[in-house]
Structure 1
């Protein structure tokens, strides 16, 4: 695996979005682990809006904050994973971007595991 083959999948949703009895961002994170993707980070946005122009912001009594799920892996794996999420209706937007992996513990361990297989 080459660092230049890596991409970043960003998935936008809301904290209040559910798939069955699970929050969408939890469902995505669990599915990413099951798909053996490189890792997932869920970020809570302080403020945001999408195509509906509804402002999502942090309120003391509300749980409708914007959430961004980020996953870094190869393009092929990320495209397949994104396609597997088609049935999830409360995903606002998915983007795929080029990313340059510079290193780090997680990257080194992943490269070592790939060469051992």
Structure 2
């Protein structure tokens, strides 16, 4: 069972991916959430973008006339610094050079 982070200082781990990125025959964002859950992190949310570009500099968009399927996806996790930092090596191995992960200090308010 996961424990929510206490009020106060915490870290936000944000992972930016493409919706067509995969790992072990599953969407990569699904695998990030699965591993975060298995690691006992407090929670994860996945957000789908409507437009963006990354490493290839190709703009992907959800506009009706576009044939793009590689829309941006963002996975956000917030937990204590210790839990987030302990999860980063697993995440780094999973990403294997794909996407972008950032860590920012946040304050949890209850």
Give TM class, smaller chain. 0.7 to 0.9
Tell me, what secondary structure is at the counterpart of 2:45?
strand
Unaligned runs of 5+ in 2: none
The CA deviation at 1:50 is: 2.2
Instruction: Tell me what 1:44 maps to.
Output: 48
Relative to structure 1, the CA distance from residue 82 to residue 56 in structure 2 (aligned partners, 3 Å threshold; closer, same or farther) is farther
Give the aligned length.
103
Instruction: Tell me what 2:109 maps to.
Output: 102
User: How do 1:3-18 residues align onto structure 2 when only pairs under 5 Å count?
Assistant: 3-18=7-22
Task: Name the structure with the higher strand share.
Answer: 2
TM-score, reference length from structure 2? 0.82
Unaligned runs of 5+ in 1: 104-117
The CA deviation at 1:2 is: 4.3
CA deviations over 1:49-69 (Å, ceiling 9, x no partner):
224322122256542110000
TM-score, reference length from structure 1? 0.78
Task: Name the structure with the higher helix share.
Answer: 1
Quote the Cα distance in structure 2 between the aligned partners of 1:10 and 1:23: 17
User: How do 1:19-30 residues align onto structure 2 when only pairs under 5 Å count?
Assistant: 19-30=23-34
Q: Decide which structure has the larger Cα Rg and report it.
A: 1
Q: Report the aligned-residue RMSD.
A: 1.8
